[in-house]
Amino acid sequence: MELSQKTIHEINDLLKKKEVTVTEVTQAVVNRIDAVEGSTDAYLRVQAEKALRDAKVVDEKLKARKKKSPLEGIPYGLKDNLCTQGILTTCASKMLYNFIPPYNAHVYDLLIEEGGVLLGKTNMDEFAMGSSTENSAYKITKNPWDLAKVPGGSSGGSAVAVASDTAFFTLGSDTGGSIRQPASFCGVVGMKPTYGLVSRYGLVAFASSLDQIGPFTKDVEDCALVLNAIVGHDEKDTTSLKIEKKDYTKNLKQGVKGLRIGVAQAFFGEGLQPEVRKSLEDAIAVYKAMGAEIVDVSFQYLDYALSAYYLISSAEASSNLARYDGIRYGYRAEEYDGLVDLYRKTRSQGFGEEVKRRIMLGTHALSSGYYDAYYKKAMQVRTLIKEDFEQVFGGCDVLLTPTSPTTAFGIGEKTSNPLEMYLTDIYTVPVNIAGIPGISIPCGLDNGGMPIGMQLLGPVLSEKTILKAAWAFENETNFKNLKAPLGREV
Amino acid sequence: MEYEIVIGMEIHVELGTKSKIFCSCPTEFGAEENTHTCPVCLGMPGVLPVLNEKVVEYATRAGLALNCEIAHYSKMDRKNYFYPDLPKAYQTSQFDLPICTGGVIEIEVDGIKKDIGITRIHIEEDAGKLLHESAEGTLVDVNRCGVPLVEIVSEPDLRSAEEAKTFAEKVRNILEYTGVSDCKMQEGSMRFDVNISMREKGETVLGTRTEMKNLNSFRALVRAVHYESKRQIVELKKGHVIIQETRKWDDTKGASSSLRSKEEAHDYRYFPEPDLVPIIIEEDYIAKIKAALPELPEAKKHRYIKEYKLPEYDAGVLTATGVLAAFFEEAVGLYNEPKQISNWLMVEIPPLLKEKELAMENISITPIQLVELLKLVKNNTISGTSGKEVLKEMFNTGKNPEDIVKKQGLAQMSDTVELEAIIEKIVTANPKSVEDIGSGNEKAYGFLTGQVMKATKGQANPTVANEIIRAVVKKHLG
Amino acid sequence: MSLTREDVTYVANLARLEFTADEVTALADQLGAVLDYAQTLSELDTSKVKATEHVLELKNVFREDVVKPCLTNEQALANAPDSEAGCFKVPRVME
């Protein structure tokens, strides 16, 4: 297996033994980018020269000392809605086509501190609104397992970079499944931590009460490593949790004996692709064989989660995106007649269709006469869903569900029907509504060879339990070693 | 048909914190455009607000000083609308759960005392400034965005322009005392919105109201209220309906005009601010702030009348600002002549402040210096007139009164022996005057006094001199 | 429960967006479909349910009243589409 295909922990072993240098590792990834990016279009921009310079700097430091952290010298990508000072940050929108932030997202500051090597910014659905990355204003990212299929969204680029070995890890954002669903479609590990664990400062806001940043990695151990680096209180984010720092790699390999794994019928209804159902059933059997206890659990309010999600997220988004007006930064219409027309033309031209649709939905949900029936109602239903999960986790330690009802669909297949696209999020959104953590890991391939992902969910702050359960399955099976059949000759 | 005017006010007060409400930019007034900004107050993508703890403290203090209930639980909300001075296109404010409710203050107009209710006080952020520089564009200065405000909403209890002005002055007076704001109207630290409606006298239902925003002086407030009430009466008498709208007050023209444009009434789509968390205020926090409240103007005024035996007028003037009252109290603490100090503070000092473009906050003399001057006047070392000259010189040079008196040789001549000698000389040299006085012309005394003053370069103690002049003249008259 | 064209136009104005007549029709349908789907929420009796405004139980998160360095005027205006005399520039605002 060549360098770019390895995991972070494998690279660290090699670096430790001085069998490779950071420059060699970075060069390997850069070469891989040259080889496959033309087919996958995971990145919006790549800074290969800078990455190699950074790599050299790290190599110099490592001559004098040991690695200061697991991520030092590791090349990675960032979703383009994470602000990077001095580097274009567009959120894949025309609206921010030339926006260069004068500051860093907190997580980027943390990764700089860790000594990671930034390769570039990855493609996404515009302003993180979408489930296929087809809503990017710049390019369509292709699924490396089948270039005619979507990678999922909104963090499609980040998922593909890891899946096609053009990054050892990436960060994405997850508001309704935007990390987990593309991880599932692309056969990689993707995690959304508990709301508040990772600072949102510098993450361009979509839905403030739902957004969370999380890692894409090739395996669960890598996921724990990245989580260690990005979790932590940030005084610049009021909604950031102040808790004792944990080591997510500790007890990772403990096993699942006696662990209660909940399975709910609500996630196995109609609309579930048969191969997905089969994979999940097989996974349940694997867990059973490892000594876990399978528990039947049931939800009362799960059916209402998607509606609540769309009302809450659109409402918050309509307010968060109101600042894009062509006055202080970003796109400004060339022709307009007066101030109000400046706003209208700028926003109508700068935003894509899906973004405008959500802004309209959200504005309506908050408007006079509709607030109680829509937004307030959704917030009350949110309480019910939160309590529903608390009730479920009273009877089990983790919940096992499919990540998405189907595997990756074809590019262009669902773009004409917004509601149909929204329904692909049906298993992921409840997690954001409740603020709980969730991970998606590969658990099979469908008949067309497309990856199937399964979700492990837990109560608030149960990342360690989830990771433990994920690691156990991953290492009892061989799905993590399945690689997308994309240009393996490099 | 007799009409009654019903007025409600919303007073916006900028809090005097060092940094802005949600970011660490300075709040100082007068900086060059767009030099007090950061990604947060500029509303850049991805930024988040963090609430300044002093804002909660100041708002609580203001609420307690205005006799409000402090909410145990309050929260921030977003008020969404588009305007170039609002970077995020929403103002973070408080909608349904403000920090203070149900206050009251007493005002007195034409001898009649009246309670004015305060509906609520809430925390919010200020917007930027628009500079209308050229015909083809408006310039936006973001410096003021994010400066913390409290909005004080009165019940519609005001019934005249005078009441509105008095209420506004009282609120300003109280808030300046608490130290939560410098209340400098000329710097925009305090602005008024007024809601005015008219109804037939005796009617209990409120008429349709119009609003005028951002009145930035008491004068504008009074003029605007007078104008608008007259305008509404004229309309009502014609049988027209008053349209509920915001009107612009033009102080130069002295008239209000309709702001109604194609835009519909604002639908602010208020919803709870997801980036901020609730504010819980406990009893002990409130108690601590209450205990630390300074003596408020009303109480201080009564104390001055009682303790210093000052007339109500003096007490009123001296307690007009906390700064002036503090200066007065320090002076009285050093020298127990409250009336004398009061006189000089009310009469002599203000014109000098004005001339030097100073205010009590940065007055160039200290209470100690004033007291020293007053002592010199009181014990006749210098005349009252000289004292005023010395005060002026103190403002000009910053020197102490004793030094000025010495340098300029202003010490009054009160030494009777010395004066007698001089006066003897002058009376002897002016036999005609003595004769005039002898024949009953008292006016001649004036001439003699003038001569004495001339000879002593104005330093003769007038009272003493006059006594001696009379005695010497009497002697000469035999 | 479709939205009417008037509804769409009203909302578009609030959001400072403009659409062609065809787009308005399409939006009325699409948003209507989503809202129809969301109608199921009205089945639930939430009269005694408190709204969740924050998933976390955080309260009283404050920062100290200290001043920290600002952006320079150049940095603040670096991304501005139009500026003049150190300020952001917009079309004349009618007062």
Our CA-based measurement puts residue A402 at a distance from the nearest CA of chain B, in whole angstroms, of 30
> In which residue are the tokens 């004033």 written?
B370
At A93, the pLDDT band (50, 70, 90 cuts) reads very high
- Greatest Cα-to-Cα distance within chain A, rounded to the nearest angstrom: 70
Are C60 and B267 a contacting pair at CB < 8 A? no
Smallest CA-to-CA distance from B352 within B370, B340, B339, B335 is with B370
- Which segment of A43-52, A422-431, B412-421 scores lowest on mean pLDDT? B412-421
Please name the residues in contact with C74: beta carbons below 8 A apart, sequence gap of 6 or more: none
Higher pLDDT, C51 or B462: C51
- Rounded-to-integer distance, Cα A264 and Cα A392, Å: 9
- Rounded-to-integer distance, Cα B152 and Cα B174, Å: 13
> What is the predicted pLDDT for the residue at A438?
98
Active site residue A154: yes
- Rounded-to-integer distance, Cα A476 and Cα A282, Å: 12
Kindly tell me if the per-residue pLDDT of A382 is higher than 90. Answer: yes
3-state class (DSSP) for residue A487: coil
Q: What is the mean pLDDT of residues B278-304?
A: 96
Percentage above 90 pLDDT, chain A: 94
Q: What is the mean pLDDT of residues A233-245?
A: 95
Kindly tell me if the per-residue pLDDT of A287 is higher than 70. Answer: yes
Are A322 and B82 a contacting pair at CB < 8 A? yes
Question: B137 at the A interface (CB within 8 A)?
Answer: no
Complex ipTM: 0.96
- Rounded-to-integer distance, Cα B389 and Cα B391, Å: 5
Active site residue A348: no
Which pair of structure tokens corresponds to residue A164?
């096609």
- Rounded-to-integer distance, Cα A488 and Cα A359, Å: 42
Amino acid making up residue A269: G
Would you state the torsion angle of the CA atoms of residues B278, B282, B285, B288, taken in this order, to the nearest 10 degrees? 150
Which among B80, B263, B277 has CB closest to A238? Answer: B277
At B261, the pLDDT band (50, 70, 90 cuts) reads low
Smallest CA-to-CA distance from B428 within B452, B408, B407 is with B452
Q: Are A65 and A36 in contact (CB under 8 A)?
A: no
Kindly tell me if the per-residue pLDDT of B414 is higher than 80. Answer: no
* Neighbors of chain C with 3 or more C-beta pairs under 8 Å: A, B
In this structure, the strands spanning A212-217 and A189-192 are antiparallel
Give residue-wise pLDDT tens across range A66-86: 999 999 999 999 999 999 999
Question: A103 at the B interface (CB within 8 A)?
Answer: yes
Give residue-wise pLDDT tens across range A350-361: 999 999 999 999
Question: How many domains does chain B divide into?
Answer: 3
Please name the residues in contact with B420: beta carbons below 8 A apart, sequence gap of 6 or more: B468, B472
Q: Supply φ then ψ for residue A132, to 5 degrees.
A: -150, -5
Our CA-based measurement puts residue B140 at a distance from the nearest CA of chain A, in whole angstroms, of 9
- Which of B236, B259, B286 marks a domain boundary? B286
Give residue-wise pLDDT tens across range B140-190: 999 999 999 999 999 999 999 999 999 999 999 999 999 999 999 989 999
Phi-psi map region of B269: left, alpha, beta (phi>0 left; psi -120 to 50 alpha)? left
Smallest CA-to-CA distance from A154 within A193, A112, A192 is with A192
Sign of the dihedral through C-alpha B276, B281, B282, B284: positive
Smallest CA-to-CA distance from A118 within A179, A82, A167 is with A167
Q: Which candidate in A164, A173, A178, A462 is catalytic?
A: A178
> What is the predicted pLDDT for the residue at A20?
96
Kindly tell me if the per-residue pLDDT of C35 is higher than 50. Answer: yes
- Rounded-to-integer distance, Cα A44 and Cα A283, Å: 36
Mutate to test the interface with C, among A212, A300, A363 (most CBs of C within 10 A): A363
Neighbours of A286 (CB within 10 A): 15
Our CA-based measurement puts residue B90 at a distance from the nearest CA of chain A, in whole angstroms, of 7
B311 and B208 in a single domain? The answer is: no
Kindly tell me if the per-residue pLDDT of A168 is higher than 80. Answer: yes
Percentage above 70 pLDDT, chain B: 98
- Rounded-to-integer distance, Cα B280 and Cα B347, Å: 48
What would the CATH number be for the domain defined by A3-237+252-257+466-481?
3.90.1300.10
Q: Are B383 and B412 in contact (CB under 8 A)?
A: yes
Q: Which candidate in A79, A414, A468, A480 is catalytic?
A: A79
Neighbours of C47 (CB within 10 A): 6
Smallest CA-to-CA distance from B190 within B9, B15, B55 is with B15
Are A343 and B90 a contacting pair at CB < 8 A? no
Question: B291 at the A interface (CB within 8 A)?
Answer: no
Buried/exposed B284-308: b ≥16 CB within 10 Å, e otherwise:
eebeebeeeeeebbbebbeebeeeb
Are A344 and C17 a contacting pair at CB < 8 A? yes
Three-state SS letters, B324-366 = HHHHHHHHHHHCCCHHHHHHHHHHHHHHHHHHCCCCHHHCCCC
At A455, the pLDDT band (50, 70, 90 cuts) reads very high
Q: Are B315 and B306 in contact (CB under 8 A)?
A: no
Give residue-wise pLDDT tens across range A424-452: 889 999 999 999 999 999 999 999 999 99
Are A374 and C14 a contacting pair at CB < 8 A? no
Question: B265 at the C interface (CB within 8 A)?
Answer: no
Smallest CA-to-CA distance from A459 within A378, A381, A395 is with A395
Q: Are A70 and A227 in contact (CB under 8 A)?
A: no
- Which segment of B276-290, B404-418, B459-473 scores lowest on mean pLDDT? B404-418
In this structure, the strands spanning A117-122 and A75-79 are parallel
B51 and B155 in a single domain? The answer is: yes
Q: Cα Rg for chain A, rounded, in angstroms?
A: 21
Q: Are A46 and A32 in contact (CB under 8 A)?
A: no
| Total beta-carbon pairs less than 8 A apart between chain A and chain B | 99
B385 and B421 in a single domain? The answer is: no
Q: Search chain B and give the residue with CA nearest A210.
A: B274
At B263, the pLDDT band (50, 70, 90 cuts) reads very low
Higher pLDDT, B462 or A23: A23
Are A318 and C15 a contacting pair at CB < 8 A? yes
Eight-class DSSP state of B319: T
Neighbours of B233 (CB within 10 A): 15
B349 and B428 in a single domain? The answer is: no
Kindly tell me if the per-residue pLDDT of C1 is higher than 70. Answer: no
Buried/exposed B446-456: b ≥16 CB within 10 Å, e otherwise:
ebbbebbeebb
- Rounded-to-integer distance, Cα A382 and Cα B368, Å: 66
Which pair of structure tokens corresponds to residue B23?
């970011």
> What is the predicted pLDDT for the residue at A489?
46
- Rounded-to-integer distance, Cα A85 and Cα A90, Å: 12
Higher pLDDT, B140 or C93: B140
- Rounded-to-integer distance, Cα B260 and Cα B210, Å: 11
Which CATH number is B470's domain given?
1.10.10.410
What is the H or E stretch that residue B102 is in?
strand B100-109
Higher pLDDT, B238 or B409: B238
> What is the predicted pLDDT for the residue at B438?
86
> What is the predicted pLDDT for the residue at C6?
93
In this structure, the strands spanning B100-109 and B69-70 are antiparallel
Are A359 and C27 a contacting pair at CB < 8 A? no
Eight-class DSSP state of A230: H
- Rounded-to-integer distance, Cα C72 and Cα A102, Å: 11
The whole-chain average pLDDT of chain A stands at 96
Give residue-wise pLDDT tens across range A296-320: 999 999 999 999 999 999 999 999 9
B326 and B211 in a single domain? The answer is: no
B386 and B449 in a single domain? The answer is: no
Kindly tell me if the per-residue pLDDT of A252 is higher than 60. Answer: yes
> In which residue are the tokens 């939160």 written?
A386
B281 and B299 in a single domain? The answer is: no
B224 and B255 in a single domain? The answer is: yes
Percentage above 90 pLDDT, chain B: 66
B373 and B400 in a single domain? The answer is: yes
- Rounded-to-integer distance, Cα A139 and Cα A37, Å: 12
3-state class (DSSP) for residue A192: strand
Kindly tell me if the per-residue pLDDT of A175 is higher than 90. Answer: yes
What is the H or E stretch that residue B405 is in?
helix B401-408
Amino acid making up residue B309: K
Are A375 and B271 a contacting pair at CB < 8 A? yes
Q: Name residues 254-273 of chain B within 8 A of A (Cβ).
A: 263, 267, 269-271
Neighbours of B194 (CB within 10 A): 26
Q: What is the mean pLDDT of residues A162-173?
A: 98
Please name the residues in contact with B105: beta carbons below 8 A apart, sequence gap of 6 or more: B66, B67, B115, B116, B118, B167, B170, B171, B174
B432 and B336 in a single domain? The answer is: no
Q: Which candidate in A4, A136, A154, A199 is catalytic?
A: A154
- Which of B253, B286, B319 marks a domain boundary? B286
Range(s) of the domain holding residue B392: 295-408
Per-residue DSSP letters for A277-340? HHHHHHHHHHHHHTTPEEEEE--SSGGGHHHHHHHHHHHHHHHHGGG-SSSSSS---S--SSHH
The whole-chain average pLDDT of chain B stands at 92
Smallest CA-to-CA distance from A161 within A76, A259, A71, A279 is with A76
> What is the predicted pLDDT for the residue at B449?
87
Q: Is the peptide bond before A154 cis (omega within 30 degrees of 0)?
A: yes
Eight-class DSSP state of A415: T
- Rounded-to-integer distance, Cα C58 and Cα C64, Å: 18
3-state class (DSSP) for residue B194: strand
> What is the predicted pLDDT for the residue at A1?
63
Q: What is the mean pLDDT of residues B351-365?
A: 90
Q: Are A432 and A445 in contact (CB under 8 A)?
A: no
Our CA-based measurement puts residue C25 at a distance from the nearest CA of chain B, in whole angstroms, of 23
At B260, the pLDDT band (50, 70, 90 cuts) reads low
- Rounded-to-integer distance, Cα B127 and Cα B386, Å: 52
Q: Search chain C and give the residue with CA nearest A375.
A: C51
Q: Are A450 and A145 in contact (CB under 8 A)?
A: yes
> Which chain B residues are closer than 8 Å to C89 by Cβ?
137-140
Q: Search chain A and give the residue with CA nearest B136.
A: A338
Active site residue A178: yes
> What is the predicted pLDDT for the residue at B380?
80
Alpha carbon separation from B38 to A295, B20, C87 (Å, rounded): 52, 11, 14
Which among A202, A239, A322 has CB closest to B46? Answer: A202
- Rounded-to-integer distance, Cα B42 and Cα B36, Å: 10
> What is the predicted pLDDT for the residue at B136?
83
Global pTM value:
0.91
B119 and B213 in a single domain? The answer is: yes
Our CA-based measurement puts residue C84 at a distance from the nearest CA of chain A, in whole angstroms, of 12
- Rounded-to-integer distance, Cα A97 and Cα A86, Å: 14
Alpha carbon separation from A7 to A73, A111, A216, C91 (Å, rounded): 13, 17, 12, 54
Q: Are A415 and A140 in contact (CB under 8 A)?
A: no
> Which chain B residues are closer than 8 Å to A208 by Cβ?
274-275
B160 and B278 in a single domain? The answer is: yes
